[in-house]
Amino acid sequence: MTSEFMVPTTSPAAEAAPSKGRRVRGIRRALAPIAEARGLPKWVLFIGIGIVLVFVVFAIFAPWISPYKFDQYLTTSGQRFPKSGAPSGSHWFGTNIMSTDVFSHIVYGARTALEVIVIAVVISLFVGVPLGLFSGYYGGPLDRMLVLVMDAMFAFPSLLLAILVAFLLRGKFGFLGASFSGIMAAAISITVIYIPQYFRVIRNSVISVRENPYVEAARVLGAKPRTVIAKYVFGNVVQNVPVIGTLNAADALLTLAGLGFLGYGVQPTEAAEWGYDLQRALGEASGGIWWTSVYPGLAIVLLVTGLTLVGESLNDLINPTLRRRQLLPIDRAEMAGEDEVVAGR
């Protein structure tokens, strides 16, 4: 029915449906809000991007950044790491109950988190968006059926659905190799939750766009449905995706942490995972051992916040009703060569 945040059905820039020659200018106009916006949204966006980039760097360059492997419990000379040892020179964030280094777990955990999120979001996109597109455009009984199913799944508590699916998929991906099977299972269980979201938003978007005169005009002129969708509809609805994508990524990370906390996520022998680390740290927290729970928790908070900031700012920037633009001086000469009028507000 309603989504959590207001997403625009169209934006004035794309509404003008530029023809081939104006494609480039259309894209530039779509990005214009970012350049034109002043004040809060821009630097919030950059902070968010900054945070996310730090974790992406952690994830990609984990073997070089992390001082030890995530499951390493011995020094090079064969000495065991201390168990739940306090932060020290050789273990910046201390060690946890498995005698592994906490900082290494943070870094490798970023890799796990991003692997799962990227897989989940990509699969959700590739399933949810086309489904929403075709369902919204063609309508009919198939559309109604899909809406019912998607609504049912959307309404269901997401973590519970993820738990059930993760639980059932355990061990089913063994053919992908030991470390990847858990990640795949977690990713699929998260995917299942988010497909309905993409479906709903895209479908609603398509439904409102398809009533527009230029779309109808194209149809009347005899354009095939595929052309209509690809050329006119898709471009308008797809701008919802980045916002939902980043916000879903944030949510997916929380779901992954929740799964890990309850024990249904990635197993410790496969990869480091922040939620699982928190579960193991739970028992020691009241004994004064804070580093095993504070750091993984902070990592989750930071990355989710970063992704959310990016998503929120994108939303602010793309949603014209929320956008505040500076008043720009109107250049009459430029205006003369334009078909549209760009209005400042």
Question: In whole angstroms, what is the distance from residue 186 CA to residue 45 CA?
Answer: 29
Q: Under a CB-based contact definition with an 8 Å cutoff, are residues 272 and 114 in contact?
A: no
The DSSP call for residue 156 is S
**Exactly one of 304, 310, 314, 318 binds other proteins (CB under 8 A); which one?**
304
Phi/psi at 325 (5° precision): -110, 155
Question: In whole angstroms, what is the distance from residue 309 CA to residue 303 CA?
Answer: 10
Q: Does the footprint of other proteins cover residue 142 (CB under 8 A)?
A: no
Nearer to other proteins, 5 or 234 (CB): 5
Q: How far is CA 274 from CA 43, 97, 110, 125, 262, in A?
A: 28, 14, 8, 25, 12
**Exactly one of 284, 325, 340, 342 binds other proteins (CB under 8 A); which one?**
284
CB-based contacts of 15: which residues, under 8 Å, 6+ apart? Answer: 236
Q: Binding segment for other proteins among 15-23, 86-94, 208-216, 292-300 (CB under 8 A)? A: 292-300
| Contacts (CB under 8 A) with other proteins, residues 200-229 | none
Question: In whole angstroms, what is the distance from residue 114 CA to residue 55 CA?
Answer: 8
Q: How far is the CB of 269 from other proteins (least distance, A)?
A: 6
Nearer to other proteins, 129 or 165 (CB): 165
Residue count of the chain:
345
**Exactly one of 159, 223, 238, 342 binds other proteins (CB under 8 A); which one?**
159
Q: Which of 131, 134, 252 is nearest to 193 (CA)?
A: 252
Secondary structure (DSSP) of 196-242:
HHHHHHHHHHHHHHHTSHHHHHHHHTT--HHHHIIIIIHHHHTTHHH
Question: In whole angstroms, what is the distance from residue 184 CA to residue 115 CA?
Answer: 9
Question: In whole angstroms, what is the distance from residue 76 CA to residue 32 CA?
Answer: 54
Q: Binding segment for other proteins among 15-23, 111-119, 208-216, 319-327 (CB under 8 A)? A: 319-327
Q: Binding segment for other proteins among 9-17, 53-61, 128-136, 296-304 (CB under 8 A)? A: 296-304
Q: Does the footprint of other proteins cover residue 248 (CB under 8 A)?
A: no
Q: Does the footprint of other proteins cover residue 286 (CB under 8 A)?
A: yes
Question: In whole angstroms, what is the distance from residue 10 CA to residue 329 CA?
Answer: 25
Q: Does the footprint of other proteins cover residue 77 (CB under 8 A)?
A: no
Question: In whole angstroms, what is the distance from residue 103 CA to residue 255 CA?
Answer: 22
Q: Binding segment for other proteins among 112-120, 183-191, 210-218, 307-315 (CB under 8 A)? A: 307-315
Nearer to other proteins, 159 or 342 (CB): 159
Q: How far is the CB of 286 from other proteins (least distance, A)?
A: 5
**Exactly one of 221, 321, 341, 343 binds other proteins (CB under 8 A); which one?**
321
Q: Does the footprint of other proteins cover residue 1 (CB under 8 A)?
A: yes
Q: Does the footprint of other proteins cover residue 254 (CB under 8 A)?
A: yes
**Number of residues counted as binding other proteins (CB under 8 A):** 63
**Exactly one of 11, 104, 158, 191 binds other proteins (CB under 8 A); which one?**
158
Residues that bind other proteins (CB under 8 A): 1-2, 4-6, 39-40, 44, 73, 80, 83, 97-98, 148-149, 151-153, 155-160, 163-165, 167-168, 170-171, 178, 250, 254, 257-258, 261-263, 267-269, 275, 278, 282-287, 290, 293, 297, 300-301, 304-305, 308-309, 312, 321-322, 324
